[in-house]
Amino acid sequence: MFRPPTNRAMQVLDRSFFKKSVPLAAARVFEDNQIGPLRSHLRRELLEVERISAIRPVPSDQASKRGQKAMLLQPDIRPDDSHTWSPTLQTLVDEGRISIFPYDLHLSYEDWAYSDIITAILPPEANQGAHGIPVGFTMVGHVAHLNLREEWLPHRQMIAAVLLDKNPAVRTVINKIDAVGARSQFRTFQYELLAGDPSLEVEVREQNCQFKFDYSKVYWNGRLSTEHERLVAKFEPGQAVCDVMAGIGPFAIPAGKKKVFVWANDLNPDSYHGLITAITLNKAGPFVTPFNEDGRDFIKRSARDLLKENHRVDATPRRKLYAMKKIHSKPSPTRSFLTQPKTFDHYVMNLPASATAFLDAFIGLYKGQEDLFSPYTHSKLPMVHVYYFSAFSSRSNIDESQKKEICEELSRRLEHTMLPGQNELDIFDVRDVAPSKRMLCASFRLPAEVVFR
């Protein structure tokens, strides 16, 4: 009886259509300071419906004084039939603490949730199929990013309008109309604006870092936040990381704030500018250096250039102003510095559709420079973290066939046999991208036979 009216022939959202009057019984409260205690006494009798408050003003034509409150009661309680009243309700009436009267609850569009409205307007073929009603979307800043199924497309404008109305954080609703990277090498996608503000200039926070960018021009996936955090946790302060396909910096910026030296590169000029913005916003400049070039060229050039760099950063802990006032008489902490290494400790290659194609850039990367690494120095050969799409539908743990597939791909690209358990090779299941597509991360230490060849 509390459901909204239904109109499955609606083509354009008509908010005025959603009106309903529900006849109920209500308990008039004579003293305002009794509302709390009476709610406790009548917890079984009070109306409990999502989004509808049981405490309401008494209609002016029935109130004995201005601002009088009433409590809405369950639908099976009738105001004119005391046989439907519970003993508690009858006792409170007899004591003169409340009185029961008829109350017409008027509901409108604002009283119903998104799912209620959508169920009331979508035709059966669009809301009773295997997927039900459209409820999933990705939030990127103020933008709700939909990926609507075919049966929902004829109703996309109404879906977006309701979504915008019912989610205060949403200012823009878009629908993806092709796959990521289908028309651009920069992993962007074509979209249709369905409702709200056309601006896709967004602000997001991840790992206590702030990012500002145009979502239509750069790649961002908030569903990878856990993966970003997992990998950054492997980096130690003072290490050097080469982020080959950095985007706007979801790995690079948190790592830089962790006092890791990061050379971050992306081919997309818009991502490069977004990365510069993130460096500034997060004050990561001493540790994060941005580049805008081809990934394969960057792998080779950055290894040479890092050897020539002499970069040292003051890593002395900063005192907050209030703390400095309290301990001004104490000696300042001993200054500490971090010196950028001459070789990278980690390479990050987050371009799952094609990152493995860049692995051949590591062949001969340090030819004739064996003395840069153990046992001649304390530096180990770098770890590589390369992302990869696997066409397996299983949602269980990575099986032997998947490990074999990935090892064969790594072996082919590096021109060196890679086997599970060798070179610290580890394969991590990141997430399901689609029913038959999984995103994986293969981490391994570069073999000496590859880099010194």
3-state secondary structure 4-50: CCCCCCCCCCCHHHCEEEEEEEEEEECCHHHHHHHHHHCCCCECCEC
Tens digits of per-residue pLDDT, 29-64? 998 899 999 999 999 999 999 889 999 999 877 776
| pLDDT (average), residues 140-158 | 93
Of 306, 147, 321, 293, the closest CA to residue 242 belongs to: 306
Q: Which H or E run contains 346?
A: strand 346-349
Instruction: Report helix, strand or coil for 55.
Output: strand
Tell me if 278 sits within 8 A of 209, measured CB to CB.
yes
Q: In angstroms, what CA-CA distances link 385 with 15, 245, 346, 445?
A: 51, 11, 7, 9
Q: Which H or E run contains 98?
A: strand 98-108
**Dist. CA 273–CA 129, nearest whole Å:** 44
| pLDDT (average), residues 97-102 | 95
**Dist. CA 412–CA 414, nearest whole Å:** 6
Give the pLDDT score at 131.
63
Alpha helices, DSSP H, located in 204-246: 225-232
Q: Which H or E run contains 264?
A: strand 261-265
| Total count of residues recorded for the chain | 453
Which token pair is 348? 């990050």
| pLDDT (average), residues 260-268 | 97
Strand-strand pairing, 383-390 and 346-349? parallel
Tens digits of per-residue pLDDT, 388-421? 998 765 555 677 888 888 999 999 999 999 998 8
Which of 361-370, 399-408, 435-444 has the highest average model confidence (pLDDT)? 361-370
Q: What are phi and psi of 258, to 5 degrees?
A: -90, 5
Those residues with Cβ within 8 angstroms of residue 288's Cβ, 6 or more apart along the chain or in another chain: 249, 252, 253, 255, 256, 262, 264, 275, 279
| pLDDT (average), residues 446-453 | 97
Peptide bond into 375 cis (omega under 30): yes
Give the pLDDT score at 330.
63
Ramachandran category for residue 209: left, alpha or beta (phi over 0 → left; psi -120 to 50 → alpha):
beta
> Tokens 């948190």 appear where?
254
CA 343 to chain centre: 33
Encode burial over 136-154: b for 16+ CB neighbours within 10 A, e otherwise: ebeebbbbbbbebeebbee
Which token pair is 204? 């997001």
Which of 65-79, 142-156, 225-239 has the highest average model confidence (pLDDT)? 225-239
**Dist. CA 288–CA 23, nearest whole Å:** 65
Give the pLDDT score at 434.
78
Give the pLDDT score at 66.
80
Tens digits of per-residue pLDDT, 28-37? 999 889 999 9
Q: Cβ–Cβ contacts within 10 Å for residue 311, how many?
A: 14
Q: What is the DSSP letter of 80?
A: T
pLDDT above 80 (res 280): yes
Q: In angstroms, what CA-CA distances link 136 with 187, 329, 341, 363?
A: 22, 57, 45, 44
Please report the DSSP string for 287-338 in residue order.
TEEEE-S-HHHHHHHHHHHHHH---EEE-PPPPPHHHHHHTTTSPPPPP-EE
Give the pLDDT score at 410.
97
Mean confidence (pLDDT) of the chain: 91
CA angle 365, 356, 288 (to 5 degrees): 65
Tens digits of per-residue pLDDT, 150-199? 889 999 999 999 999 999 999 999 998 876 655 667 778 889 999 999 99
Tens digits of per-residue pLDDT, 298-343? 999 999 999 999 999 998 887 665 555 555 556 667 888 999 999 9
**Dist. CA 30–CA 356, nearest whole Å:** 75
Those residues with Cβ within 8 angstroms of residue 156's Cβ, 6 or more apart along the chain or in another chain: 146, 148, 175, 192, 194
Give the pLDDT score at 436.
78
Instruction: Report helix, strand or coil for 450.
Output: helix
Tell me if 248 sits within 8 A of 275, measured CB to CB.
yes
Tell me if 379 sits within 8 A of 444, measured CB to CB.
no
Which of 185-194, 224-233, 434-443 has the highest average model confidence (pLDDT)? 224-233
Give the pLDDT score at 32.
86
Give the pLDDT score at 167.
96
Q: What is the DSSP letter of 44?
A: T
Of 428, 407, 397, the closest CA to residue 227 belongs to: 428
Percent of the chain, pLDDT > 70?
93
CA angle 231, 429, 268 (to 5 degrees): 55
Q: E strands of 180-222, at which residues?
A: 191-196, 201-206, 209-214
Tell me if 324 sits within 8 A of 354, measured CB to CB.
no
More confident residue, 232 or 66: 232
Tell me if 385 sits within 8 A of 441, measured CB to CB.
yes
> Tokens 């249709």 appear where?
192
Instruction: Report helix, strand or coil for 15.
Output: helix
